[in-house]
């Protein structure tokens, strides 16, 4: 299982939109659909840097980023992908 939350201005808003998936591919497909195919599954990358977020019980938080937005290539433009959310596989889900 993997959980994803989109990047938002407030943590509470981000957590309100958190969704669980069986695997990474399901999560990526959902993200692409949520962004109206503004980029593809192949454009989504998950950073290896892991951090713990004790506020929400996510123990292996990683950034979910996209290499492209429409025609804008974030890699050639900025040198790195744009963060669009966070994910974790070691977490507790509050219901």
Lowest mean pLDDT among 3-12, 42-51, 85-94: 85-94
Q: Is 16 left (phi over 0), alpha (psi -120 to 50) or beta?
A: alpha
User: 95 in a domain, yes or no?
Assistant: no
Task: Round to whole Å and give the CA distance between 34 and 17.
Answer: 11
pLDDT at 38: 94
User: 65 in a domain, yes or no?
Assistant: yes
User: 93 in a domain, yes or no?
Assistant: no
Domain that holds residue 37: 2-88
- Mean pLDDT over 32-41 rounds to 96
Which of 27, 76, 86 has the alpha carbon at shortest distance from 56? 86
pLDDT at 30: 98
Indicate the pLDDT class of residue 94, thresholds 50, 70 and 90. low
Residue whose token pair is 């050639």: 76
Task: Round to whole Å and give the CA distance between 62 and 86.
Answer: 6
- Kindly report, residue by residue over 53-71, the tens digit of the pLDDT: 999 999 999 999 999 999 9
User: 27 in a domain, yes or no?
Assistant: yes
User: 94 in a domain, yes or no?
Assistant: no
Residue whose token pair is 């292996």: 60
Domain count for the chain, please give it.
1
User: 43 in a domain, yes or no?
Assistant: yes
User: 37 in a domain, yes or no?
Assistant: yes
- Kindly report, residue by residue over 4-35, the tens digit of the pLDDT: 999 999 999 999 999 999 999 999 999 999 99
Q: Percentages helix, strand, coil for the chain, rounded to the nearest 5?
A: 25, 35, 35
Q: Is 70 exceeded by the pLDDT of residue 90?
A: yes
């Amino acid at each position: 299982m993997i959980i994803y939350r989109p990047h938002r201005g407030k943590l509470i808003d981000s957590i309100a939109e958190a969704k669980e998936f069986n695997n990474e591919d399901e999560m990526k497909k959902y993200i692409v659909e949520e962004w109206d195919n503004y980029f593809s599954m192949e454009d989504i990358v998950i950073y290896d840097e892991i951090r713990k977020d004790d506020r929400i019980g996510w123990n292996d938080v990683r950034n979910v980023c996209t290499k492209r937005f429409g025609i804008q290539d974030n890699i050639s433009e900025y040198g790195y992908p744009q963060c669009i959310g966070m994910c974790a596989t070691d977490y507790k889900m509050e219901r």
